[in-house]
Amino acid sequence: MKRIAIALMVITACGTSVFAADWKNEGSIDLGYTMPMGNTADVVKGGLGLGLEYDGYKINDMFSIGGAFFYTSGDVKADTSKSVTTWGITPFAKYTKEVDLGGKKAVAYGLFGLGFYNSSSDVSGVDSATDLGFNLGGGLMFPLADKMQLGADLRYHYVATSGDSTNYFVPSVKFTYTF
């Protein structure tokens, strides 16, 4: 399964080179709260969510490709001295649209990412595991200055772990700088 996912990511990245595109060079920092769902919520409390993004390859005015690294952590409900952490590396495809909010310009976006997630815990008997997963999300960005934006982001992460799945929402505040 992992080999198929890697092959699809490589084909997607190579296939987009036939379009006339520009490098966008936009970096973002996300700070949010991880909200576990389903079976994950039975075991783990919510916690910190931190993300770093690079949105670099602009295919046209609406579509771009980038990559994200993120980190989440939360305490184990049965023993709050123990924690569960997850980090992921996910390339993504992004759709953006400029919107007018009563005379103020903003940028709305939606994205889909497929990548690798690593979950680990300091609970004895629980091993670290790297699995395939995806995230789906969107947000709204408002300009602060010529090269800076501030906004809100909401992502749903699904990780296909062995035997069960891990899934959570991460609402966050996002700061973007274009360089």
Q: Per residue in 40-81, pLDDT tens?
A: 888 899 999 999 999 888 888 899 999 999 999 999 888 888
- When mean pLDDT is compared across 20-24, 36-40, 83-87, 174-178, the lowest value belongs to 20-24
Q: What pLDDT score was predicted for residue 8?
A: 53
**Contact indicator for 97, 109 with CB cutoff of 8 Å:** yes
pTM of the model: 0.82
Q: Taking the CB of residue 72, how many other CB atoms lie within 10 A of it?
A: 27
Which tokens belong to 114?
């497929």
DSSP string computed for 112-145: EEEEEEEEEESSTT---EEEEEEEEEEEEEEEEE
Cα gap 48→111, rounded to integer Å: 21
Please determine, for residue 19, whether its predicted confidence score (pLDDT) is greater than 60. no
Residue type, 83: S
pLDDT score, position 12: 58
Residue 93 CA to residue 134 CA, distance in Å, equals 12
Instruction: Please report the domains of the chain, with CATH numbers, ordered by start residue.
Output: 2-178 (2.40.160.20)
pLDDT in tens, 101-141: 888 899 999 999 999 999 888 876 667 888 999 999 999 99
pLDDT at residue 7 tops 90: no
User: Average pLDDT, whole number, for the chain?
Assistant: 86
pLDDT at residue 78, as a whole number: 86
